[in-house]
Structures are given as structure tokens and as C-alpha cells.
Amino acid sequence: KAGVTQTPRYLIKTRGQQVTLSCSPISGHRSVSWYQQTPGQGLQFLFEYFSETQRNKGNFPGRFSGRQFSNSRSEMNVSTLELGDSALYLCASSTGTSGGGLQYFGAGTRLSVL
């Protein structure tokens, strides 16, 4: 069974631009969660999508948004990029219904904002 796939692996953008990150979960998983990882703040929960609906979100500004498609693939969008958005963005997939919250992670997208 294929793992969680995140694309692209690396991105370089400039302030003010917008960016879209993609995450394909494990086949059969309906939940995708997104996390931002920075050296100072560690891992911060962004949001979770389940069956195309956002059912949980963290404390991030509205510039961070996401969506999920009918095949459970998810995209995360960040508009009007700021220098502080430079981070590793991880997505995790799970069944979303049971399994004690077991999440499987992708290798992440490294975003650098210049």
C-alpha cells in the first residue's frame, strides 16, 4: 500500500505570493490533517479534513486554507505569503473514524519565503 505523498518537496516563493501544497493520503483513508513545523514553534496543527469537510482547525490566520476532494486528496493554500510562513508543512492521513487517532505522515513540503 502506497504511503502518504506530498508534492512538491521544496518550494521557494517571495513575500506576497500565494502557494498551494498537495497531499495524497493512504488509499482508503478519509482524513487528512495538516501541520506546520518550525524550529521555534515546533509542530502546530493547521486543520483536518474528513470526507471533503473541514472538521477541525487550529489557530492560524485566514490566509491559510485548505480543501479536500472526493478522492480524499487534499490541498493547502497560503495566500499573501509572509517571511514567517517559511516552514516544513506536513500532512498526515488516517481513517478518521477509529484506530485511536493513528496518523501516517508524508515527507513534507519545505516552503521558503524570501
Stretch that binds another protein, among 15-23, 43-51, 64-72, 73-81 (CB under 8 A): 43-51
CA 89 to CA 43: how far, in whole Å?
Answer: 9
Of 18, 17, 4, 16, nearest to 90 by C-alpha is 4
Per CB under 8 A, the list member of 5, 13, 30, 58 interacting with another protein is 58
Considering the complex, state which of residue 15 and residue 55 has its C-beta at the smaller distance from another protein.
55
Half-sphere exposure of 38 (CA within 13 A, CB side): 13
Give how many residues touch another protein by CB under 8 A.
24
Give 103 or 113: the residue with its C-beta nearer to another protein. 103
Indicate whether 21 belongs to the interface with another protein (CB under 8 A): no
Return residues touching another protein (CB under 8 A).
Answer: 33, 35, 42-45, 48, 50, 55-56, 58, 88, 90, 92, 100-108, 110
